[in-house]
Amino acid sequence: MIRVPIKLFIFIGLFLQHRTALANAVGSDFQNFNPTSNGIDFVTVQSSETLEPGFFNLGLFLNYAINPLPEFGDQEKERGELRNSLLGLDLNLGLGIAKDWDIGVNLPFTASQSIEEENERIQLQDRGLNEVRLNVKYRIAGSDRGGVAVVGTVNLNTIENNPYSGQDPGPIANIELVGDMILSGFTVGANVGYRARSEGEAIEDVPVEPLGDQWLYSLAVAKLLANIDTQIIGEIYGTVPASNDVGSDARRNMNSSEVLIGAKFLVSDSIAIHGGVATYLSQNANSPDYRIYSGINWTFGPAWGKKQSKVLKRKPSIVLPPPPPEAPTYPEVDPLPAPIVYVLENVEFGFNSANKLRPGSLAEIHKLGQILVRSTYSKVKIIGHTDSLGSTEYNLKLSQQRANTIKNYLLKNFKINPKLIEAVGMGESQPIAENNTLQGRQKNRRVEFKIYK
d(CA 29, CA 211): 10
Summarised one tens digit per residue, pLDDT across range 32-91 is: 789 999 999 999 999 999 998 999 999 999 999 988 876 665 556 677 778 888 899 999
d(CA 273, CA 283): 30
| pLDDT band for position 120 (cuts 50, 70, 90) | low
- Choose among 451, 441, 425: nearest CA to 314: 451
Rg (CA), the chain: 27
Percent of the chain with pLDDT over 90: 32
d(CA 155, CA 29): 9
d(CA 132, CA 108): 7
Percent of the chain with pLDDT over 70: 75
- Is the model's pLDDT at 253 over the cut of 80? no
What CATH number does the domain located at 6-300 have? 2.40.160.40
Give residue 160's identity as a one-letter amino acid code: E
Instruction: Give residue 28's pLDDT.
Output: 45
Kindly report the average pLDDT of the chain as a whole number.
Answer: 79
CB proximity list for 119: less than 8 A, separation 6 or greater: 71, 72, 73, 83
Using a 10 angstrom Cβ sphere, with 0-12 exposed, 13-18 middle and 19 or more buried, the burial of residue 78 is: exposed
- Is the model's pLDDT at 310 over the cut of 90? no
Instruction: Give residue 268's pLDDT.
Output: 87
d(CA 54, CA 369): 31
H, E, C per residue of the chain: CCCCCHHHHHHHHHHHHCCCCCCCCCCCCCCCCCCCCCCCCCCCCCCCCCCCCCCEEEEEEEEEEECCCCECCCCCCCCCCCCEEEEEEEEEEEEEEECCEEEEEEEEEEEEEEECCCCCECCCCCCEECEEEEEEEEEEEEECCEEEEEEEEEEEECCCCCCCCCECCCCEEEEEEEEEEEECCEEEEEEEEEEECCCCECCCCCCCCCCCCEEEEEEEEEEEEHHHCEEEEEEEEEEEECCCCCCHHHHHHHCEEEEEEEEEEECCCCEEEEEEEEEECCCCCCCCCEEEEEEEEEEECCCCCCCCCEEEEECCCCCCCCCCCCCCCCCCCCCCCCCEEEEEECCCECCCCCCCECHHHHHHHHHHHHHHHHCCCCEEEEEECCCCCCCHHHHHHHHHHHHHHHHHHHHHHCCCCHHHEEEEECCCCCCCCCCCCHHHHHHHCEEEEEEEC
d(CA 286, CA 351): 47
Phi, psi of 12 (to 5 degrees): -60, -45
Residues 241 and 247 sit within 8 Å (Cβ to Cβ): no
CATH-assigned architecture of domain 310-452: 2-Layer Sandwich (3.30)
d(CA 408, CA 50): 38
Q: Where are the domains of the chain?
A: 6-300, 310-452
Instruction: Give residue 341's pLDDT.
Output: 80
- Is the model's pLDDT at 237 over the cut of 80? yes
| pLDDT band for position 346 (cuts 50, 70, 90) | low
CB proximity list for 171: less than 8 A, separation 6 or greater: 154, 155, 156, 157, 198
pTM given for the model: 0.77
d(CA 444, CA 428): 8
CB proximity list for 302: less than 8 A, separation 6 or greater: 52, 53, 54, 55, 96
Residues 365 and 355 sit within 8 Å (Cβ to Cβ): no
Phi, psi of 401 (to 5 degrees): -65, -40
Summarised one tens digit per residue, pLDDT across range 15-49 is: 444 444 333 333 345 567 899 999 999 999 999 99
Summarised one tens digit per residue, pLDDT across range 136-160 is: 999 999 987 889 999 999 998 888 7
Instruction: Give residue 343's pLDDT.
Output: 77
- Antiparallel, parallel or unpaired: β 379-384 and 421-425: parallel
d(CA 420, CA 427): 23
Total number of residues shown for the chain: 453
